[in-house]
Chains A and B, each alone.
Chain A
């Protein structure tokens, strides 16, 4: 039986891991290569490196981190942040990444998804969707639980969650699949960094709309949240950063707990 995956995410800038709250207030959280190796020992199923600055200077540093990690960690590595061109994809894969995560460039130039999938295979094209609920004054969304009505909407944001677009997140998910995305990495900007739980309704609606794996991101504070994303949210994998970086729990502990609740995980 296919296992549900637990994926630690390392937000990297200038060769260091950092973690912010709602895309701000970054705190230093260590050396990426060391941390990748540690997560591998704990039983992480994959790793994601997110280049949060994504400047040209930072790219070389990032590729070096990827190359050094790939020398010693033999699980799938995904790199995201600032992937804009076919050449960016090629270089990142060449450095040792197995997949690239495309976000802003996918919205600005959707053909990049098609071209990337054609040249390198869908398996290495992850489309990342940063989604934010469209506020409605008549409704309290603060709990992020199941929506009381069906007309709830999410818009896609770009540029590391700083710029809103008019793109509907569910429609974009379907289009990304059609264009050749192999997986979707869905982040709720409302929930990210809060550790109050994923936006389960967003995850469930996207999972039900596509036939490719969906990775839940943004908001994990404990194993219960992950359990919800993998069951009610119908996701194939969960991604988390804070709860691992500050050693609140380990991948192994989370897997043990999920397994005891009947979720198939790789032990």
Chain B
């Protein structure tokens, strides 16, 4: 079973639908016990960094998430679910989960912010999550901030939007992306399927 973390923010429906569409068993939950039981965890997210951290604290999910990731449970972070893995963000004052060293910064260029729409990924490292996905594949983004990992070797893909930024990271059983696989048509479904297979959930 894949636990889809519901911390009271954003729209979980599309991630839930996409995971079910590819044949996964999903439990939408904010219970630490469900996270502990799950074979894999998906942390989705839209909204603001501090709101997200406040909700995670409020539901008592901060420690369970850190523990699950430290224990090597397969984990997929999406959008804000990528950003909160980091230590801090320019968007807010609260500390992130800090399971990845680095910070989250805002786009500072003349282009429109947020970046909304389809952009391409350049594959920097062949993560198993990207198997069967072409270099230059198009995925859907909606964000104003991007992650800057201290250890650049964890960057799985990069994307160009005024600057080249890390559009996904991969470290062992942890994979997290800035784009929305659940809204990225065939490419996104492929990534979710890879994640589910990698996690032994398919």
Chain A residues in the interface with B (C-beta under 8 A)? 1-5, 40, 45, 70-72, 74-76, 93-96, 98, 120-124, 182-183, 211-213, 236-237, 266-267
Contact = CB atoms under 8 A, between A and B. Distances in A.
A123 B142 contact: yes
B11 A98 contact: yes
A173 B4 CA distance: 37
Interface residues of B, number: 32
Binding site secondary structure of chain B: mixed
Given A3-B138, A76-B140, A71 B17 contact: yes
Interface in B17-46: 17-18, 21, 46
B13 A96 contact: yes
Given A70-B17, A98-B14, A266 B183 contact: no
Contact of A94 (B13, B116, B117): B13
B46 A1 contact: no
B13 A236 contact: no
Contacts, number: 88
Contact of B119 (A3, A95, A121): A3
A45 B184 CA distance: 9
**7 nearest CB pairs, A to B:** A266-B138, A266-B118, A3-B118, A123-B142, A121-B47, A121-B46, A2-B119
A95 B111 CA distance: 32
Interface in B157-191: 160-161, 182-185, 188-189
Nearest to A3: B118
B114 interface: yes
Given A74-B189, A76-B140, A123-B142, A45 B117 contact: yes
A91 to B, nearest CB: 12
Given A3-B118, A3-B138, 15 more contacts: A2-B111, A4-B117, A45-B118, A71-B17, A71-B21, A74-B17, A75-B184, A96-B13, A120-B10, A123-B116, A123-B142, A183-B116, A212-B116, A213-B116, A237-B117
A203 to B, nearest CB: 15
B98 to A, nearest CB: 24
Given A70-B17, A74-B183, A213 B112 contact: yes
B18 A2 contact: no
